[in-house]
Amino acid sequence: MADLRMDFEATFIAQVITAVGFTVGLCIVVASGRYPRHIRYSLRAYSCGKILVGTAFLIAALRAGDWPELLIPLANGVGIAGLAMNYSSVRHLQNRPIWCFTPMAAGVAVGLLTLLLLLAGGGLTSVRTLVSLAAVGVMAVIAFEVVVRFEGRGVPHYVTGLLCVVLSIVYLARMVVGITRGDEATGYLMIDDRMERIAFLLTLLGTVIGAINYVLMASDEFNRELSKLAHTDGLTGSLNRRRLFELGEVEFRRSRRHGRALTVLTLDIDRFKSINDRAGHPFGDRVIQAVADCCAGQIRHEDVMGRIGGEEFAILLPGIGEEAGRLLAERLRATIERQLAPLGTEGGVTVTCSIGGVSLTREHGEFSDLIAQSDCALYDAKNAGRNQVRFFAPALVEAVAV
């Protein structure tokens, strides 16, 4: 009967991978405590993945002794589960849903198939083919997730994708070498010592580089979260006043430079103080949120909306002139009146809005001029009986002054 044992050097590398995997996993768990929830879950899932991979190599190292070869399915199943945990961590980092049992299901499936292959006399070549293909499949999915689907990806994401591709090539080569050499080529568990050591060493290197790189990815995501908190309104999720004015200045200069149209709308919820007094401030918050959601559903992706006051919003419409701006403003007004009618009935109030607008001309010197004139048009809409749309005209300045 063939002596199914790891040689000493491969065993030593496996033990080093175990130590590094455990150390990296525990360090990331400790470091994850102060991050936001989804980033914290992502880091902890990643650390669990490293600990599982370390456990798999520990089990593989134990096979150098007189342990039963049923540890082969266990080691492979745990290793694939660890890789799948890395996929879960990437999904958590993007705050995207994932079935919590995905890693366990992948590990159990590979472990059971490995056991069945051994019981059927399939030999170690078939086992390695199965496990290598499973590992390559998981790493390919991870690479696709971080390089293609990840929003706001940067250098760490591409490094992670490249690392997955390199390891996939190594494990495919390991599989090909195993198929070529066959189980009878050696009495050791490793079909080809040199290929196995290369695979193990690159796995060790990937564990270290991948961990550092993943922490950088998590830090990038954390910085984006901080930027989002600094730039958005906590109640509605739209931009806050400061950020809207920053983007407004940029868009104003761009439109001036390229001779492109630009329209600014200012929207205010009618009789909002009365809504708060009659239905309460929590209901008033619901009205503000509903108006923001309604507006967000009507504007384009390139348009910019922000909350600039208690119940007041501003919308930037790049590339849209006065005529198209009037049509959009009227559509917004009518949509809010129609869609928020049930909410108003619930609170015993009427929810409508007034909208003022202005389009860019040569007379405008800066973005604040557009906001001031849009507010002037909004004031005219309020005076006209509310639930109106008005665009700025020079005569309005005199009317407001009077």
Q: Are residues 160 and 265 in the same domain?
A: no
Q: Looking at 185, 208, 231, which one is the last position of a domain?
A: 231
Q: Are residues 298 and 369 in the same domain?
A: yes
Examine residue 1 and state whether it is found in any structural domain, yes or no: no
Q: Are residues 269 and 312 in the same domain?
A: yes
Residue 1 has pLDDT above 60, yes or no: no
Round to whole Å and give the CA distance between 145 and 132.
20
Examine residue 137 and state whether it is found in any structural domain, yes or no: yes
Q: Are residues 209 and 267 in the same domain?
A: no
Q: Looking at 198, 231, 264, which one is the last position of a domain?
A: 231
Q: Looking at 171, 201, 231, which one is the last position of a domain?
A: 231
Q: Which amino acid is at 157?
A: H
Residue 387 has pLDDT above 90, yes or no: yes
Using a cut of 0.85, tell me whether the model's pTM lies above it: no
- The pair of structure tokens assigned to 352 is 């409508």
Examine residue 2 and state whether it is found in any structural domain, yes or no: no
Confidence of residue 355 (pLDDT cuts 50, 70, 90): very high
Query: What is the CA angle 7-10-13, rounded to 5?
Result: 145
What are 365-379's pLDDT values in tens digits? 899 999 999 999 999
At 108, which CATH number? 1.20.1070
Q: Are residues 138 and 272 in the same domain?
A: no
Q: Are residues 205 and 294 in the same domain?
A: no
Q: Are residues 264 and 212 in the same domain?
A: no
Dihedral pair phi/psi, residue 239, rounded to 5°: -65, 150
Q: How many domains does the chain have?
A: 2
Q: Are residues 332 and 204 in the same domain?
A: no
Q: Are residues 112 and 221 in the same domain?
A: yes
Confidence of residue 67 (pLDDT cuts 50, 70, 90): low
Q: Which of 367, 366, 373 lies closest to 400, judged by CA?
A: 373
Round to whole Å and give the CA distance between 333 and 286.
18
Q: Which amino acid is at 73?
A: P
- The pair of structure tokens assigned to 380 is 């005219």
Q: Are residues 212 and 355 in the same domain?
A: no
Strand order in the sheet with 353-359: 304-307, 312-318, 262-269, 353-359, 389-391
Q: Give the residue-averaged pLDDT of 235-245.
A: 92
Structural domain of residue 212, as residue ranges? 8-231
- The pair of structure tokens assigned to 6 is 């790891």
Examine residue 282 and state whether it is found in any structural domain, yes or no: yes
Percentage of residues in the chain having pLDDT higher than 90? 42
Q: Are residues 103 and 250 in the same domain?
A: no
At 248, which CATH number? 3.30.70.270
Q: Are residues 193 and 249 in the same domain?
A: no
